[in-house]
Structure 1
């Protein structure tokens, strides 16, 4: 069952690779596994040259939104989860439950209120309209509290305080390094979420030069009904858009393995 599930999950990626390695004339009229090695280079070049290289602009925007947004969101989530776990303050559980309510609210229900707020603040159709909402991640706070409870023993915190470390120093020098696996996990989840985000940029942005790659490919896909030559552009662009996510998972997975023993008391 696991093998079948893995094949089912990987099959769309395999199709992207084989479809991107076909010329426009052979895209829909040949077998899936009939590829042309030279065609993928031509398709990539067409993607990069289309509309004066706007795909690279979209790609850079996605890196900015996803990279900066995921990093800022992860820092906030880890700090909040650490505070909810290690500190005792009035209404702690009620406040945490209030944070979890945000997990139940669908993003589509928040799009219009966020647009009105961005319009009121005068930041709609700007980078800030997409970046600021991506900093809030209630599910990340929930995960950070679980990781804090699992990886940071209370005895370590007490020992650091007895040595005279301030609360901020304890978090920065003791808590945060021990939560590296949780930090990486939350970062990857948020990076993928922001990278694939479509609805929020669709509502917030009207300038094509501010589009992320997901919204940019959507505009190209809308042209396929009148101009079939956009099909290879959308497929090849989708393949290029998936590559950063694969690289991120491969590059950061070692932190999960190294973190299996980081929470032990020595």
Structure 2
């Protein structure tokens, strides 16, 4: 048993290094100039600390377009994540606690939709949105992100055990409407599950590249992923004015993950409170 425990510990440490090493490289590379990125050891800092100069250049290059991309990404992600979490909470609660004709069939469709890659739906979504003049608008990013089959599946599974039928019956006896029961009783109990779906959708929308790439052609509407890819393509093309863009791409990539880390740190307490509440209830 001790040997097995040691092997598991070594395996976990190896996985930890595997996941943290790219992040560490990104932080280290953000402190270097473009020249140092090629001439110095990649996994350690150099004497010439360029982080603050790189950050300043990121937010001033191209008339400060990076700040615009950051705000766009924040808007797309927050609206999409909030909307998707709310819709998944409604749908998951409905599937879990209401019996209606076609319940199992519709939930089977949801499970099947989980297995469909989002990239396979990008082109059909573009053709559909082009018919209703939503291409090159924020809605072209937000509306597809509101549909989360995996989030609906998670909320259905979570609501099945988190919501006691007696609470719903008590609300009905007190004369509360179904929506009143949902907002006043159910929603609070579903908070940990909602936060889970919220974070999954937030990360997915924040890191989404292919959908904005085909939906948007106005640089003022780009999210960070597409904007940084545009900068990266300029470095590949060369040119005197783009010589330092590689350092800006690396630094911009590092800055783009800071809001996600902050979101996880701020919202993790809802998971902890949900787990402790479940333990007390059990």
Q: Residue 85 of structure 2 contacts residue 198 of structure 2 at CA under 8 Å; is this kept in 1? A: yes
Deviation of the 1:251 alpha carbon: 0.6
Name the counterpart of 2:261. 246
Distance 2:172 2:134 in 1: 43
Length, aligned pairs only: 266
Deviation of the 1:25 alpha carbon: 2.0
Two-structure CA RMSD over aligned residues (Å): 1.4
Name the counterpart of 2:220. 209
Cα distance change, pair 36–66 in 1 and its aligned pair in 2 (3 A): farther
Q: Residue 21 of structure 1 contacts residue 36 of structure 1 at CA under 8 Å; is this kept in 2? A: no
Structure 2: stretches of 5+ with no match in the other structure: 1-10
Name the counterpart of 1:256. 271
Distance 1:261 1:179 in 2: 14
Distance 2:122 2:33 in 1: 39
Name the counterpart of 2:117. 106
Residues 94-124 of structure 1: per-residue CA shift (max 9 Å, x gap): 0111122211111121111111111100110
Structure 1: stretches of 5+ with no match in the other structure: none
Among candidates 201, 204, 214, match of residue 190 of structure 1: 201
Distance 2:212 2:63 in 1: 22
Deviation of the 1:265 alpha carbon: 5.6
SS of 2:234's equivalent in the other structure is coil
The residue correspondences of 1:19-168 to structure 2 (distance < 5 A) are 19-31=29-41, 32-36=43-47, 38-168=49-179
Q: Residue 118 of structure 1 contacts residue 124 of structure 1 at CA under 8 Å; is this kept in 2? A: yes
4+ long deviations beyond 6 Å: none
Name the counterpart of 1:233. 248
TM-score by length of 2: 0.91
TM-score by length of 1: 0.96
Name the counterpart of 1:11. 21
